Amino acid sequence: MERRLIKDEIYNKLPLELQNLANNFEGRERDIVLISNLVVLSNCFPNISGVYHRDRVFPHLFALIIAPAASGKGVMGYSRILIEKIHQKIYTESLAKYKESFKKSRKDVNVEVEALQVKILPANISTSEMYSYLGSSSHGLIIIESEADTLSNMLKNDWSNYSDVLRKVFQHEPISISRKVDRVFEDISEPKLSVLISGTPHQLQPLVNSTENGLYSRFMIYNFDEISPLKNVFDSNARNVKEEFEKLGTLIFETYGKLSEINNLIEFSFSKAQQSKFLDLLSPIREDVITNHYEGFISSVHRHGLIMFRIAMILTIVRNLDGVEKNKELVCSDVDFDISYEIMTTLLRHSQYTYDTIDTGGLSIQDEELLDKMKLTFSRQELITAGQKMDIPKRTIDDKIAQWKGKRIIKKVNRNNFIKLSRR
């Protein structure tokens, strides 16, 4: 599958607030900014939820941006500005309460010390700390990490391997922890967490290789290998991007405050027609994966249905931002339904490519069939011709060549010729 860009027409249909931010960028950077903004905003709208597959779900999303150094993925950092004011308010007020209660507890042992609250959670924390912060949070947390090896290293350590927590909180499953030595007990019935991570393929290896335990399937994946061109850093026509994000960040801060004060949940939903269309659109994708790709990727297809639902929820909220807290229900528009579907299918292609790149020890059904058509030595053009007969685009063929070389299934003989290697 191709690691394609999000289509231009999708950007033209976005809610104006997201469109204005995206217009400051182009190409891969524009896609990264949109994906990052969606993840950050997924933690900015408390008390809005919908029912998906019989369960109540909130907008929270997970995303991995995978790219080499100097590729432009650093623009992800702008999205943090959208939630920074919310984080600072929660942390500042919580710190004051913590200090006051701590002071009183030194005089009276019966006084309980207030738990410290944050909105932006660092990745380099222990499992018990994560439980503690999730337990004290009113409306969820977000991890924003541009150095992915920080989180990857934490997943390797016994004391901080919170992979199980990440898998459960994606769908708000209850989590609990009890440690006698530390006198720690946390029981969280409906945890909420968003995760935004970027890094190089090597840094993200422990996360990407989590296909068997299901963590991988919970992430939106955006994977590319182009190096960013040299930019004119003195371009006088360039707008102050940070100010654009701060402007929307202030609006999001105000909306967060209003939504956090309402006593009821605002119900998001697809229309009946959209529900039918949703099933019609996802069924052939599922059948294609069953027929042509690794069976293990099915879980990613299923979870991308939920991801689409959450993206549609976020787009609907942003499009109705003015006075959104006054609504009892929000029904997705056909425009936002179509946008969320296009974004989801694009990211599913990136996820499929990344999944196929992982050394699973075998090939997909489609790959086996295609490679069987080749002689011991073959050319790129012969592979492209065979692929066209199977409705496989040229760019996808090039992706497959890169994957097969990485798995040592084929070896490059010269510029456009390859030889099959023996497989045991």
Q: Could you tell me which of 235, 195, 216 has the C-alpha nearest to residue 24? A: 235
Could you tell me the CATH number of the domain that includes residue 395?
1.10.10
- Residue 394 and residue 326 in one domain: no
The chain-wide mean pLDDT, for the chain, equals 89
Domain count for the chain, please give it. Answer: 2
Note whether residue 399 is domain-resident. Answer: yes
Domain boundary residue, one of 316, 341, 360: 360
The distance of Cα 169 from the centroid of its chain, to the nearest Å, equals 14
- Residue 348 and residue 374 in one domain: no
Domain boundary residue, one of 331, 360, 389: 360
- Residue 376 and residue 346 in one domain: no
Distance (Å, whole) CA 274 – CA 280? 10
- Residue 354 and residue 382 in one domain: no
Per-residue three-class SS string for 124-188:
CCCHHHHHHHHHHCCCCEEEEECCHHHHHHHHHCHHHCCHHHHHHHCCCCCEEEEECCCCEEEEE
237, pLDDT greater than 60: no
- Residue 148 and residue 74 in one domain: yes
Note whether residue 1 is domain-resident. Answer: no
Write the pLDDT tens digit of every residue in 272-282.
999 999 999 99
231, pLDDT greater than 80: no
Cα radius of gyration rounded to whole Å, the chain: 23
Higher per-residue confidence, 365 vs 418: 418
In this predicted structure, what is the pLDDT of residue 362? 62
Query: What six digits make up the tokens of 362?
Result: 């075998």
- Residue 374 and residue 292 in one domain: no
Among the ranges given (208-217, 264-273, 338-347, 373-382), the one the predictor scored with the smallest mean pLDDT: 208-217
Note whether residue 72 is domain-resident. Answer: yes
The residue segments making up the domain with residue 389 are: 365-420
- Residue 287 and residue 401 in one domain: no
Could you tell me the CATH number of the domain that includes residue 51?
3.40.50
292, pLDDT greater than 90: no
Cβ atoms 406, 357 nearer than 8 A: yes
In this predicted structure, what is the pLDDT of residue 77? 94
- Residue 144 and residue 271 in one domain: yes
323, pLDDT greater than 50: yes
Write the pLDDT tens digit of every residue in 22-73.
999 999 999 999 999 999 999 999 999 999 999 999 999 999 999 887 787 8
- Residue 336 and residue 406 in one domain: no
Note whether residue 200 is domain-resident. Answer: yes
Cβ atoms 141, 120 nearer than 8 A: yes
The dihedrals phi and psi of 329, each to the nearest 5 degrees, come to -145, 155
State percent of the chain over pLDDT 90: 60
Query: What six digits make up the tokens of 177?
Result: 């922890």
Note whether residue 2 is domain-resident. Answer: no
Note whether residue 380 is domain-resident. Answer: yes
In this predicted structure, what is the pLDDT of residue 289? 83
- Residue 38 and residue 126 in one domain: yes
Among the ranges given (111-115, 183-187, 198-202), the one the predictor scored with the smallest mean pLDDT: 183-187
In this predicted structure, what is the pLDDT of residue 424? 42
Domain boundary residue, one of 342, 360, 378: 360
**What predicted TM-score, i.e. pTM, was given to this entire model?**
0.85
